[in-house]
Each structure stands twice: as structure tokens, then as C-alpha cells.
A and B are shown apart, each in its own frame.
Chain A
């Protein structure tokens, strides 16, 4: 059964993984980090990624169109992908049964990272982190 650290270690096994973190997007706190971070600063990265995640989670424009009353426990957004010239960022929201605002943040090298694979695996990890 994975905890935060096991989940992060697993994320780092993905091809091209440079760093990963579990972040609370309300406070911007990194609850756990592994590997490298842009600029070598996990805390700043967490705070900035949290800001992006918060905007995506709070704005109605990004919520699903159908079948969402936008008020249940369902997350309005599953994940966020940001790409730049040399890296990808994948932010995966974690659905918990208690009130929380947590996401997984994976930083991938573009040269040998596989975005589609990373996105699927990250989704599975987010599920296993909280559910059995």
C-alpha cells in the first residue's frame, strides 16, 4: 500500500522523470518531493504549480460540460499539462474522500519522456495513493 514517498518513488521510475511532488494547492505546500525541481527549488515550484492548479480547479470554464453539477465531490479537472521547449509538467489532481486540495506534480524531460504514458500512470498513482 503506497504512502506519499512510495508514490513519488514510483513516479520517478517513469521514463524521463526529473522530479515529482505531492502538493496542496490551497496553501502551496509541498507535502513530499523527490528528484529535481525547476531552478532546484521544490518549494517555489510547488507554490507556483499550486497557483496554476487552483486557477484550473476553480474556473468553471474548465469543468466538464455534461453531467456535472459542479458541486459534488468530483474534481472539476483531472489533470493539467504544460509543455515547454525541453520539459513537460503533468499535474494530476488527487481525489480524496476527505476535504483536501492535493495534486501530483511530475516534471519530465521532453527528450526521453512519454507524455501519454506519464499521464496514464500518474492517474493510476493518484488513485492508489488514496484508495486501497
Chain B
């Protein structure tokens, strides 16, 4: 064991300054006008010439979900557009040129989806980010947004939620309605969310059903929580034996309970859906892994190269139930602390 007499020089770490810089790497990429995709724990952010052109997160419904939920575009129409123009990376243009969606509608809907996904992609993460130069999304550029706008908005949204109701526990957990309360009339958009709450669905599940950006659902969820009408469902027992597949559905209703079809997949191919992999400290919520999984399985971008985060901070696919550590991850183990600082420093380069 070597003895270090002088204290290590300060390295740039993610901590206090992340209030101002969501991702130092992202700002560097913007400065060099990079094109490619930033892969983070909770999704991906596509850059073109240093501007954000698209974002995807398993927690956020994609453009296809938003458009088809409103009846603008059915699944066939969407598939045809992707088949025709996907290879040329211009599906967005094709949708407009072929008259399926108006330009204004596409821009509004895409901006909604992009800022929504970016909010989750840029959320606190305990895994390193990677950037793949040259990668482009098949949607093609629709209305690029500067990196500074996206990151500032992500922070502003975090503050907005905090001001409505400071407890983030309901963001990721299955939600349940307060018992014994005849609910007072709530505004219509909150009412739509309230109607979906059944003790199993998370905000992300509800957003998929409603075809609504998840941040919009979170705003409603926090307001409903502040009004005492809903609360996070109490955590399930840590491990229950795999239940027989009795509830087929688009979204897995009980995230903590391994299901017939999904559990073996996750067990045998733990990183097949990289963003669904359980991870402590993900987004600072105790039920982080539970909340992210169902949507992740549904919409994880299959084209992205899965790669396990080879950091001590990450966990095996079947974690022992421990209380989620606060973010940033604080550990007393000096080796792990050193590795974390190195990782943070590398990302901040």
C-alpha cells in the first residue's frame, strides 16, 4: 500500500457545478460542432453540426407514439415512411412532403418529444457518457436546437417540478390513488393522468398510454401529489418468484415483479436494453430501476450498440435490494472514489 503524502490535485468532477453544466462533454461537442450521438445512461442525444436534432429516452414516448395516439399517423403510415425514407435519413421531410403531417405539426410534436427525452437524457446519471461520431438519426433534422438551450431547459424543468412538489419519489414509482378520498374536480389534463393511475403504472407508462410527453405527465403527477390525491405505491417485496405470464400487455404493469416474457430476457441478456438495466442512483429516485424498465423494454433503440458501463458504480442485472445512494454517488471506499473521480474527469475533458 503506497503512502500518498500530498493531496491529489483537484480534478473536474460532477457535483456542484452540474447545476450549471449538465454535461461538460456535451458543451465541448457543441463547441467543436460535432455530429453524432451522445449515449447516456437514460437515453441518447443526436447532434448535427453541434446542434441537437433529436433525443430519445426509454422514459419518454417517441414521435411515433405521440403522432399515432392523436390519430395523425397510424402504425402503417409510420412504417411506410420509415421504410421509404429511413435509409436516406429523411423520414421527417418525407412525412411533410407526402402530406401526412403538416410542417408546423411535425415541428411542434417533434420539439415536444425532443425536449421531453432530453430532460431524461440529461438527468443525473451515474454512468459515463459516450459519443459516437458520425451517427445520424433516420428522422433527419427537423428543427435543430442549440445545446445551450437544451441543457438550460433541462435544468429549468427540474426546478419547475421541484417548485410544484419537492418530492421526486413519484416520478419513477408505480402510482396509487389516495384511498378514502372522493377526489375533488381536477383540471382536465390532470384528470386524464389521474384516471390512469391504478397502483401499477408509472408516469412513463401513463405517458405512453396517453401519447403525451412524460414531462407533461410528471407536471400533473407532482400537482396531484401536492394535492394529496396520489402517492408512490409502496415498494414491492424485493424478490418474488417469477409469476406465470397472466397479464400480457404493451407495458409491463408490475416493474418489480419479474414477468414471464421479460424476466428471462433480462436475465440472460442483461444488457440487451442498456437503459433498462437497473442502476442505483439513477435519477436520484429510490425506485429508479423499477420505473425505467417497462418503457425501456418497449422503446429502447435497438440500433444503439449496447455496452455495459464498466464502472464500479454500476450493478449486476440482479441487484441486492439496497437503498439507492444519493446522487452523486458517495462512497467511503477510497478505490471506488478514485475511480469515480477519474471517470468524471475523463468525461469532463
A residues adjacent to B (C-beta < 8 A): 1-4, 7, 22, 24, 26-29, 31, 43, 47, 57-60, 70-71, 76, 94, 96-102, 128-132
Contact = CB atoms under 8 A, between A and B. Distances in A.
Contacts, number: 93
A99 to B, nearest CB: 4
A27 B216 CA distance: 7
10 contacts: A3-B103, A26-B215, A27-B215, A29-B115, A29-B153, A70-B188, A97-B105, A98-B211, A131-B102, A132-B102
Contacts of B102: 1, 129-132
B321 interface: no
B104 A1 contact: yes
Given A3-B107, A71-B188, A97-B105, 4 more contacts: A1-B96, A28-B156, A97-B70, A132-B102
A76 B187 CA distance: 11
A70 B111 CA distance: 27
Contacts of A129: 102, 104-105, 108
B112 interface: yes
A81 B212 CA distance: 28
A71 to B, nearest CB: 6
A43 B190 CA distance: 25
B207 to A, nearest CB: 9
A57 B191 CA distance: 13
Contact of A31 (B111, B157, B210): B111
B160 interface: yes
B11 interface: no
B10 interface: no
Interface residues of B, number: 36
B188 A100 contact: no
Interface string B68-105: 01111000000000000000000000001001001111
Contacts of A98: 66-67, 69-70, 72, 105, 109, 211
Given A26-B219, A99-B66, A2 B115 contact: no
Nearest to A60: B185
Contacts of A58: 187-190
B250 interface: no
Contact of A27 (B72, B96, B104, B157): B157
A7 B115 CA distance: 21
A94 B115 CA distance: 19
A25 B102 CA distance: 21
Contact of B105 (A24, A59, A96): A96
Contacts of B215: 26-27
B143 interface: yes
Interface in B198-248: 210-213, 215-216, 219
Nearest to A131: B102
A27 B109 contact: no
A28 B242 CA distance: 43
Contacts of B157: 27
Most buried by B among A7, A57, A58: A58
Contacts of A7: 104
Contacts of A47: 156
A26 B66 contact: no
A74 to B, nearest CB: 11
Contacts of B153: 27, 29
A4 B212 contact: no
Contacts of B156: 28-29, 43, 47
A24 B104 contact: no
Given A1-B103, A27-B215, A99 B69 contact: yes
Contact of B104 (A4, A70, A99): A4
Nearest to B116: A27
Contacts of A31: 107-108, 111
Contacts of B187: 57-59
Nearest to B187: A58
B70 A96 contact: yes
Nearest to B68: A98
B128 to A, nearest CB: 29
B195 to A, nearest CB: 10
Nearest to B97: A1
